[in-house]
């Protein structure tokens, strides 16, 4: 539905999509369409030009995602979050269910799995989505200040530290 009308290419983005991409690149974190729209309104107030409406923001994000210039991330609620990405790249996030903070993983951990899938099933994966949900370190530490889980984390950190 939403994606039907707005067309464009990476080189020839509609004006609204350009503005959305620019705003997305400036954003310090992943944003929902609604939050992005709000941010754009705030920044436009300063220079008096007109910010795109929510519908344009939604459509532009759809387009940017389709063109591989933005990535949509499901964080567990109904609103997707978006972030700007470099062409051909993608990222994965660890999302804390307590504080909603997210940590972007530096590397894609799935390429080896894709190799196994190709080998065992003859299936070549062209794309994948992976977000990992759980409890971040500070929430875990806060919840278990003197508990067992905190000890486990410290042990784990020692282990990974040793490997390096």
**Which positions touch Zn ion (CB under 5 A)?**
96, 98-99, 108, 110, 136, 139
The C-alpha atoms of residue 133 and residue 131 are separated, in whole angstroms, by 7
State both tokens at 145.
Answer: 């200040």
Pairing label, strands 93-96, 131-134: parallel
CA distances from 94 to 78, 83, 98, 117 (A): 17, 15, 12, 24
- What are the DSSP calls for 7-24, one per residue? ---SSS--HHHHHHHHHH
The C-alpha atoms of residue 140 and residue 128 are separated, in whole angstroms, by 29
Q: To the nearest whole angstrom, how small is the minimum distance from the Cβ of residue 98 to Zn ion?
A: 5
Q: To the nearest whole angstrom, how small is the minimum distance from the Cβ of residue 116 to Zn ion?
A: 14
Choose between 64 and 136: whose C-beta lies nearer to Zn ion.
136
Choose between 98 and 149: whose C-beta lies nearer to Zn ion.
98
Q: To the nearest whole angstrom, how small is the minimum distance from the Cβ of residue 101 to Zn ion?
A: 5
Tokens 């944003």 belong to residue: 31
Choose between 59 and 83: whose C-beta lies nearer to Zn ion.
83
**132 Cβ partners below 8 Å, 6+ apart?**
92, 93, 94, 95
Q: To the nearest whole angstrom, how small is the minimum distance from the Cβ of residue 110 to Zn ion?
A: 5
Choose between 120 and 127: whose C-beta lies nearer to Zn ion.
127
Choose between 67 and 139: whose C-beta lies nearer to Zn ion.
139
Q: To the nearest whole angstrom, how small is the minimum distance from the Cβ of residue 93 to Zn ion?
A: 11
């Amino acid at each position: 539905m939403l994606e039907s009308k707005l067309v464009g290419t990476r080189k020839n983005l509609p004006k609204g999509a350009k503005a959305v991409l620019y705003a997305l690149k400036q954003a310090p974190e992943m944003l929902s369409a609604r939050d992005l729209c709000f941010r754009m309104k705030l920044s436009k107030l300063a220079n008096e030009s007109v910010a795109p409406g929510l519908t344009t923001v939604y459509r532009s994000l759809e387009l940017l995602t389709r063109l591989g210039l933005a990535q949509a991330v499901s964080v567990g609620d109904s609103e997707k979050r978006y972030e700007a990405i470099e062409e051909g790249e993608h990222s994965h996030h660890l999302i804390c269910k307590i504080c909603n903070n997210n940590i972007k993983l530096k590397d894609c951990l799935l390429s080896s799995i894709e190799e196994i899938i190709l080998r065992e099933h003859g299936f070549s994966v062209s794309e994948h989505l992976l977000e990992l949900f759980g409890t971040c370190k500070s929430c875990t530490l806060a919840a278990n200040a003197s508990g067992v889980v905190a000890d486990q984390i410290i042990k784990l950190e020692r282990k990974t530290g040793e490997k390096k």
